[in-house]
Structure 1
Amino acid sequence: MWKYYNLSTHSNRPPTYAQIKMGDLFYTSHVRRKRNVQAAVEMYTAAALQHDPQGLYNLGVLVEEGVALPPSTLRLLGLNSSVSGSNFPIIMDLYRRCRDHEEEDSYVPCSLALLNAHLQYIWTFHGSILKCSSAAAIAIVTALSLMTIFGRLQNVAQNFHLSV
């Protein structure tokens, strides 16, 4: 399998499925070879440059796992490399491009990955606000529920007292 896909990627116009498969093979370690993340990035980038949404998706997954894309790769893909401190803009841009691709098969998985990236971003940078607002909302709902329960108990007690 390695030989077939590797030969396919060295042709004049390599098929993107072979580039994706080679990227997968480079990214996973094997008994006979070590993991080669940079080679995987190159294969996924080559597929993405040929407008394959799977290449964009796989690059997004790599960045989510902590792989830093080289500045040359970011330039090739037209991504903003000046963003520092957070990979979320790069991840979201990769998944957004994948989702907006004309291939229908990429819409759902890329949309879900984009939603997950947005939720992780919100939780990472606004988690304390979410926790405080959730605690306040729970307190308000609990107070309103208790007031309703005590009000109904009072009505039941008054009706019982009037009927006796």
Structure 2
Amino acid sequence: MENKGMAEQKKNLSSFIQEIKEIILSSRANAVRSVDFCRVQMYWQMGKRIFEEEQQGKERADYGSYLIKNLAKEIQPEFGSGFSYRQLAFCRQFYKTYPIMNAVRSQLNWTQYRLLIQIDNEDKGSYYEHEAVNNCWTARELERQVNSSLYERLLLSNDKESVLAVARKERITQ
């Protein structure tokens, strides 16, 4: 009888420990997502300020590239390579692509947004954005899907479900 009680206690302890581990892992994952989204918000705000400063109420900027080059020269030594001319240009493009902050999805990170803003077709970009969120694609997976022309293959396909099944790794191509 005593052995049965001890076995039950061990089982309960093991279950308890597993539950605590899941809480820790979940919290860590949430913390990473939260930091990623704060970074996305920072780049959006920077893009907005760069765009506003360039435009100064005009339809086209007079000194856009100089502004970004000078800004990069000033802030990169203090804040690092994440603030290079190229990165700041991405910030501006990010704001131009997503001018409403509420349209920016917290499920996507900066690397994913950098991929999305480089897609020149609005429908195509929107498709990849929705698929990345709905399928929890990593940046690497999103890049793979864009490079494999999933959107174009779907548009050309008569069997869209089959193409999607391959994209979602539900089916292996022959």
**Normalising by structure 1, what TM-score?**
0.29
- Structure with higher Rg: it is 1
User: Does 1 or 2 have the higher relative contact order (CA < 8 Å, sep 6+)?
Assistant: 2
